[in-house]
Copies of this chain bind each other. A is one copy, B any other.
Amino acid sequence: MVNVTASTALQLRSLVRSNGELEVSLQSVPVPEPAADEVLVRIQATPINPSDLGLLFGAADMSTMKVGGTPSHPVLTARIPDKFMKAMAGRVDQSMPVGNEGAGLVVKAGDSPKAQALMGKMVALIGGEMYAQYRCIKAAACLPLPADATAADGASCFVNPLTALGMVETMKREGHSALVHTAAASNLGQMLNRICLKDGIALVNIVRKAEQEKLLRDMGAKHVVNATSPDFMAELTDALAETGATIAFDAIGGGELAGQILSCMEAAINGKAAEYSRYGSATHKQVYLYGMLDTSPTEIVRNFGMAWGIGGWLLFPFLQKIGPAAGQALRERVAAELKTTFASHYTRTVSLAEALSPEAVAVYGQRSTGAKVLIDPSKGMG
């Protein structure tokens, strides 16, 4: 049994000041007492997902980053360009906890049987505020891990697995039969490949590096296209013609890629067309931007007819749309395939303080494919 002795513990906070300064720091906050239906979890593993970076750094220009404070209580600051401050209006001058998901040990439990049943268990949890030594949360938000799973095994059990499954589910629900994924060698992309291989769904992977191509091909991926190839457009068109993919999930967001995908989809469709259609093909082509690894503007050269759409895609609204029963079915699949289909890999594990070091930010802040950082808030805490 682990005992909680301290009455306060560290929590990472992100603050956007009205003067356009971002400040990320560690705060001492009271360790909460769990209510009847709650448990107190000592967090041991919590990933820095691309989806956390928005709340963590806001729209700050990270090239202006400075780290001050002390080694145990670093304070990271950066400037937010004026043009983005309007989008930040809702969070100005509010110190915000960060961290979508994590895993750890239940060290205290409320009186309810459901909470008590989790006492001493290793659990995965989702609900924000995970970049902290302790997280008090409803017992219902916890997923007990298999006996042989470590906190690191369970740390990324929600966001990436449900996002990958959500893409396949969206593809089916919107009437497509194959899909495209960008930044495809990421942890998420690897999961998506494992899902598609297992389920027999054709997937076109777009990457930017030869080693990423190799990594995916070694996993068994059939369609891998390198966006830096001089023949990228032709190669992508061929892969789209072969698979019939008319929906894409793009993690990059900025630049020309989303438009290029639509353009190649149209070319692949028209390559099979019997008759010219003046407004382009009547087949609806869709790209969902679910991330923004590239925060620069999205530039769309509209040479793909009129039957197209680009839009945002987010896990939580998707889960809301499909309803609790369908969501539960996805969660059960994740639990059943935690160490296979849904395994995650990390580049490095850092303490809360180390997460604010320039070295760590350089790894996860560059939003680069496959460089994933895990925070262990129990690390270096004696």
A residues sitting closer than 8 Å to B (CB atoms) are 54-55, 59, 83-84, 86-87, 89-91, 94, 96, 253-254, 259, 263, 266-267, 270-271, 273, 275-280, 282, 289-290, 292, 295, 297-314, 316-317
Cβ–Cβ < 8 Å partners of A299 in chain B: 297-300
Q: Do the beta carbons of B306 and A298 come within 8 Å of each other? A: no
Q: Given that A86-B267, A308-B311, A312-B309 are known contacts, is A91 also in contact with B276, CB under 8 Å in the complex?
A: yes
Cβ–Cβ < 8 Å partners of A307 in chain B: 312, 314, 317
Q: Do the beta carbons of A278 and B309 come within 8 Å of each other? A: no
Q: Given that A307-B312, A317-B282 are known contacts, is A292 also in contact with B298, CB under 8 Å in the complex?
A: no
Among residues of B, the one whose C-beta sits closest to the C-beta of A90 is B276
Q: Do the beta carbons of B270 and A89 come within 8 Å of each other? A: yes
Cβ–Cβ < 8 Å partners of A306 in chain B: 290, 312-314, 317
Cβ–Cβ < 8 Å partners of A276 in chain B: 90-91, 94, 96
Contact of A273 among B90, B280, B290, B303 (CB under 8 A): B90
In angstroms, Cα B311 to Cα A311, docked, is 8
Among residues of B, the one whose C-beta sits closest to the C-beta of A89 is B270
In angstroms, Cα B308 to Cα A317, docked, is 12
Cβ–Cβ < 8 Å partners of A309 in chain B: 309-312
Q: Do the beta carbons of B289 and A297 come within 8 Å of each other? A: no
Contact of A87 among B94, B266, B300 (CB under 8 A): B266
Among residues of B, the one whose C-beta sits closest to the C-beta of A92 is B276
Minimum CB–CB distance for A206 against chain B, Å: 19
In angstroms, Cα B298 to Cα A313, docked, is 20
Contact of A302 among B86, B94, B273, B292 (CB under 8 A): B292
Cβ–Cβ < 8 Å partners of A312 in chain B: 305-309
Q: Given that A87-B280, A279-B54 are known contacts, is A289 also in contact with B302, CB under 8 Å in the complex?
A: yes
In angstroms, Cα B87 to Cα A91, docked, is 45
Q: Do the beta carbons of A297 and B259 come within 8 Å of each other? A: yes
Cβ–Cβ < 8 Å partners of A83 in chain B: 303
